[in-house]
Amino acid sequence: MSLHAIQAEPLGSVEAIRDALPDFAKDIRLNLGNVLSEDGAPELTLKQIHHIALVSAYATRNVQLVGAVEAEVSTLSEAEIQATKAAATIMAMNNVYYRFVHLSNDAEFKTMPAKLRMNVIANPGVPKVDFELMSLAVSAINGCGMCIEAHAHELQKQGSSKLQIQSAIRIAATMNATAQALALR
């Protein structure tokens, strides 16, 4: 069976994804069973956990993982799902742009206006803290240090604890590793 055929096999639920993870991903299987619960993601609400899991799945671009998480986030309304998609999309753009600005050796780029529309950040359709948590998760997956710093700072300014921020990143890291394991099984 080809790798493409394996990736296309539907799994349907996060539990099915977890069960399908191979032995080399046992740690990821255990983490996936943990971080998507309120006990395993301290200081996050179930709705926030669902937002972060879904935006992280979108950021991985793994069709199986996206489908499984979409099937499980019944607490999210259609408007909240659209806000989650908006966070994944706007951060896909911002992470590339700001990672370039950050990594460039030319200081002039840091002073130039981005001239990119980012209106959804000001009016995301979900609580600002939830959108910031989603944006932070995508930024961590995409490896944009400048965006990670900005969103973590904004979250702390809005009263989020470091434990809440860490919980969001643990979800993002586990979802990213799950997508990797699915691609390699």
Range with the lowest mean pLDDT among 3-7, 106-110, 150-154, 165-169? 3-7
User: pLDDT category, 9, cuts 50, 70, 90?
Assistant: low
Check residue 25 and report its DSSP letter: G
* Residue 151 Cα distances to 34, 57, 118, 134, 148, angstroms: 24, 19, 14, 9, 5
- CATH number, residue 56: 1.20.1290.10
Residue 58 has pLDDT above 80, yes or no: yes
Counting beta carbons within 10 angstroms of the beta carbon of residue 23, is it exposed (0 to 12), middle (13 to 18) or buried (19 or more)?
A: exposed
| Residues annotated as catalytic (active site), given as ranges | 144, 147
| Type of residue found at 91 | M
The percent of residues in the chain predicted with pLDDT above 70, rounded, is: 95
Angle at 134 between CA 133 and CA 138, to 5 degrees: 120
> Which residue range(s) make up the domain with 170?
3-184
Is the pLDDT assigned to residue 10 strictly greater than 90? no
Q: Which helix H or strand E contains 183, and what residues bound it?
A: helix 162-184
Q: Is the pTM of this model over 0.85?
A: yes
For residue 68 the two structure tokens come to 């499984």
Continuous H helices in 12-161: 14-20, 26-35, 46-60, 63-72, 78-103, 108-111, 119-122, 128-142, 145-157
Residue with tokens 């900005």: 150
